[in-house]
Amino acid sequence: MFVNRKEELSLLNKLYKSNKSELLILYGRRRIGKTELMRKFAETKKKTIFFSSDLSSENEQLRQFSEVIYNSTKDSFLENNPFLNWESLFKYIFDHISGHTRMIIIDEFPYLCSSNKALPSILQKVWDKKGKDSKIFLVLCGSYMSFMEKEILSVKSPLYGRRTAQLFLEPLKFTDMKHFIPNYSINENVYAYSILGGTPAYIVKFNKMSSIEKNVKKEILDKNSFLYREPKFMLMEELREPSIYFSILEAISFGKNRLNDIVQHTGIGRIKTIKYLSVLIGLYIIKRDVPVTEEKPYKSRKGFYKIIDPYFRFWFRFVYPNFSYLEERDIDYVWNKKIKPNIDSFTGLIYEDICLQKVKLLNRMNKLPMECDRIGRWWNRDNEIDILAYNKNSYLVIECKWRTKKIGINIFNELEAKIKLLPPKNKLYYGFFSKSGFTEKFIKLSKENRNILLFDFNI
């Protein structure tokens, strides 16, 4: 199933039609849909060579790539004469294929480099001599985030300055969930998103005809399921000391999100903890959040760490700490005693992220009562505002409530008190998201006062 990715497909189409040489670096976490994106785009283009790398030897990779080129060009010379080195292969591509094929896609480029670490330098040399004038659209895809950023995108990389575009493929948004699980209500999709996040390979594991409980038990808690050890495998592939990162992520998932709290919980020294946290940030697993009004966020002392991938957050909160039960197949116990009593409080924080996505989308579509310069969370020592959007003249303050009780006027009064903690502005708007809706009195008030906005998830 292929969902959305309209902006990404638009970029690919623009590069494809440029009528000049293009070198695109496409990267993102495993399972995020890079291969499917390129295959979907290649479906509409007749002139494409798609090579998927693996961990086989250099000679085998050369043989396989030669075969793919032969199948596309039908050059009789290649049928029994595979390329013996990468330089000759790339020279052939740029010299002989440009008239026949517009786009070359190399999937999992880091695997290719593992067979020959000099490959980026070899490609740089051939690109400078032949590739930049060949009108070939070359795409290098990779899932190993650290490799792609250090060896391909960084200033020290041989390929630095050669790329004409780069695309970091992000997870899908909450609004895409309804396409995967159309039978679910909005609230059920919120639960599903809070568990799985926006990784397509995870979402498709949920059966649209089954309940949240049945899907979690079958597709996550069962020790033979695909998702059961997925975060563990991913971290072990990317990191040298996975056990240390495990302890840090577990601490954050249980609310130990300040630096000092993480240090005390894990017993790792402060300097080393900062280093490990920076690596996890680089992998887009966590982020350091600061109040949206901070002018120098990197220097702010108000920052805290949060797991930004919902499935990692769910896994470290409910799966990893309960391995001993799950290995004995005590699935019902883990669901009934560990997950079910805590699922709503767990979902509440992700619900705020979902609401933030909606507000940012509405701002891009010019469907808010004001054009917002900055949108995010705000807090001080004693209070917090779930979402604060503002420009130089106006505030839009938003409360997000994930609870079974309808929002009433009392919540509006509480939000009014919070706004007094901020520097004054000329115009104030109040917004509310609610799992369970709003009281009749509050709906009436919102109709009488145009500065009060009651949001839903319809676009």
Buried b (16+ CB within 10 A) or exposed e, 187-203: eebbbbbbbbbbbbebb
Q: Which residues pair with 139 in a beta bridge?
A: 24, 105
Domain 176-347 in the same topology as domain 6-168: no
Domain ranges of the chain: 6-168, 176-347, 368-454
In one-letter notation, the amino acid at residue 186 is I
Give the tens place of pLDDT for each residue, 214-259. 999 999 999 999 999 999 999 998 888 899 999 999 999 999 999 9
Q: Which CATH fold topology does 176-347 show? A: Arc Repressor Mutant, subunit A (1.10.10)
CB 369 within 8 A of CB 428: no
pLDDT for the residue numbered 85: 96
Task: Give the residue ranges of DSSP H helices in 100-172.
Answer: 109-115, 119-129, 145-147
Q: Residue-wise pLDDT tens for the chain (459 aa)? A: 677 899 999 999 999 999 899 999 999 988 999 999 999 998 877 689 999 999 999 999 999 999 999 998 888 888 889 999 999 999 999 998 877 789 999 999 999 999 999 999 999 999 999 999 999 999 999 988 888 988 899 999 999 999 999 999 999 999 999 899 999 999 999 999 999 999 999 999 999 999 999 999 999 999 999 999 999 999 998 888 899 999 999 999 999 999 999 999 999 999 999 999 999 998 889 999 999 999 998 888 899 999 999 999 999 999 999 999 999 999 999 999 999 999 999 999 999 999 999 999 999 999 999 999 999 999 998 899 999 999 999 999 999 999 999 999 999 999 999 999 999 999 999 999 999 999 999 999 999 999 999 998 764
Q: Where do we find the tokens 């990162």?
A: 245
pLDDT for the residue numbered 458: 67
Give the tens place of pLDDT for each residue, 90-113. 999 999 887 778 999 999 999 999
Q: Which CATH fold topology does 6-168 show? A: Rossmann fold (3.40.50)
Q: Which residues pair with 454 in a beta bridge?
A: 432
Task: Give the residue ranges of DSSP H helices in 157-284.
Answer: 177-180, 186-196, 200-203, 212-216, 230-238, 242-253, 259-266, 270-282
Q: Which CATH fold topology does 368-454 show? A: Trna Endonuclease; Chain: A, domain 1 (3.40.1350)
In one-letter notation, the amino acid at residue 304 is F
pLDDT for the residue numbered 297: 87
Closest C-alpha among 125, 101, 121 to residue 113: 121
pLDDT for the residue numbered 1: 63
- Which distant-in-sequence residues (6+ apart) come within 8 Å of 142 by Cβ? 25, 26, 27, 108, 109, 110, 148, 152
